[in-house]
Every structure is written in structure tokens, then in C-alpha cells.
Amino acid sequence: MAAIDQRSTTRLTLDLWHPNCWAIEATERTAGGVLAHAIYNSPRTGGDAPTSVQGLFTAYGDDEGEVEALLETIRDSDHAGELSELQERFGRERNAPGNVVREFFVEYDPDDMMCPTLLEYGFVHSAPVRIEDGSETWQVCFVDDRSEIDGSLEKVREASGAEVSVDSITTGSRDGPTPRDQRLDTLTPAQRQAFEHARDAGYYQWPREASTRELADDLGVSKTTLLEHLRKAEAKLLNP
């Protein structure tokens, strides 16, 4: 009996910038970030290609002011159409980074999408895209041999005008991110930086190898700010 071919999966984290993207522009100009969840084509008759698509997104930030400024910048973008916010659902799972999250639909040109180009060259989207500080973070699986990755990425760059770099690459049989990775992804950049620095500096060792004052000085923030970041990070990581 022939053995079943169990090819390992190559997973990559891509740091990506591409032109004419309202989310990249908005997060470059304001604080906070955007998670991209799903894209929907508007119905068309006669087999015509859609002239616009609707996407479901989550805006997130440390406070209401950050999120409101982010949404206003998106509304003002030349590359975004009508933006419609969703009513907050009671008891909704908070699966986005940030202390404040708001879900919305926005209409935009399908020619500005990266999904089709990535898919064409073998990169299959495997998690919501995270957009912060003017760049996108993509979690993808590569369907071809690992040795073909560099060539396929170059084809993506040529076809889209995108700037793409590989943040991480792993080969294995895991079906997705670990629970630890999922929890870390709920932290804001400031919370994650504070938590990881505290962990690496021995703050969670016993006896402690670093004080909150030392950690705050290392990060260039006040002790109060550091403690707030750590408290919120710990609450998210420890939440069952």
C-alpha cells in the first residue's frame, strides 16, 4: 500500500506595502490600526466584473479618539468609498488588538486589492490582515515548494508595485497559530512591547530582576504608562 503524501506546509509572515491603499494611508497618518476580515463582491448582471467591492474591517486603538481619527481619515481617502459602521453587538468577542474596537464596511476598487495577486502566485491568505503604521502584515501559506518562494515574491512585486519582505518563515504541519500566538495578537503594539521587554528583562522572575522604574526608563515612558500597558496586557493574556 502506497504511503500517503503528507507534504509539509510553508507558512510566512509578510510585511507588505502597496499603492492606492486607504488602510495603509490612514494608519500611516494616525494611530491605531485596521484588521481586514472579508471581501464581498457586489452582484452584477451580464457577467461584468464588479467595479467595486465591499470589505469587512475592524478599526482599533487605545482610546475612542484614536479610532475616531482613524475612521475619519479613511472616510477622507481618495481610495475609499462609502464607509458604514456596524452596530456593536452585545457580548461580542474582542478578537482585535486595542482597548477600543469598531467594525465597519467600506467600498473600494478591486484593482487595489492584493489578495488576487498573492493567490495567483501561490500565497494563500490564512488569517485577518493587520494594518499598522503604514504597512500590512499578512499570514499566508505557500502552496508550492519552499525553494520557489523568492521567485514568486518577485512576481508579486512586479505585478502589483508592492514592496514585500518576509518577517518569518516556518515549515511544519501545524494547522494554524498556537493559542499563545493568538493571545499575543490581541495586544496593541505598545502593550506587546512593554510585556515582551518586561519578560525578557526578568520582571516576571522570582525574585524580580528588573523594577518597573528600570523598565519604564528603558522604553522611554513614565512608570504610570508602563504599568498601564502591563496591566492591560496581562488582563488579555490571562483572560480565559
- Digits of tens for pLDDT over the chain (240 positions)? 333 344 567 899 999 999 999 999 999 999 999 999 888 765 444 445 567 888 999 999 989 999 999 999 999 999 999 999 987 654 444 566 778 899 999 999 988 999 889 998 999 888 889 999 999 999 999 878 888 999 999 999 999 999 999 998 887 655 555 566 666 777 778 888 888 888 888 887 777 788 888 999 999 989 888 888 888 887 777 664
What SS3 class is residue 125?
Answer: strand
Let me know if residue 180 belongs to a domain: no
Residues 120 and 221 reside in one and the same domain: no
Radius of gyration of the chain (CA): 20
Residues 115 and 195 reside in one and the same domain: no
* Residue where a domain terminates, one of 172, 205, 224: 172
Let me know if residue 2 belongs to a domain: no
**Total domains present in the chain:** 2
Residues 84 and 132 reside in one and the same domain: yes
d(CA 1, CA 3): 6
Residues 233 and 117 reside in one and the same domain: no
* Residue where a domain terminates, one of 147, 172, 197: 172
Residues 131 and 210 reside in one and the same domain: no
Domain range for 203 is 187-238
Residues facing 9 on adjacent strands? 172
Residues 165 and 217 reside in one and the same domain: no
pTM of the full predicted structure?
Answer: 0.69
Residues 225 and 152 reside in one and the same domain: no
Let me know if residue 62 belongs to a domain: yes
C-alpha cell at 123: 500565497
CATH at 194: 1.10.10
Let me know if residue 149 belongs to a domain: yes
What pLDDT, on the 0 to 100 scale, is given for residue 5? Answer: 42
Q: What is the dihedral of CA 167, 36, 116, 157, to 10 degrees?
A: -40
Let me know if residue 39 belongs to a domain: yes
Let me know if residue 195 belongs to a domain: yes
Residues 166 and 204 reside in one and the same domain: no
Residues 118 and 157 reside in one and the same domain: yes
Residues 32 and 144 reside in one and the same domain: yes
Let me know if residue 182 belongs to a domain: no
Residues 83 and 165 reside in one and the same domain: yes
Give the residue from 173, 190, 203 showing the smallest Cα distance to 233: 190
Let me know if residue 179 belongs to a domain: no
* Residue where a domain terminates, one of 128, 144, 172: 172
What SS3 class is residue 106?
Answer: strand
Residues 57 and 16 reside in one and the same domain: yes
Give the residue from 9, 2, 15 showing the smallest Cα distance to 130: 15
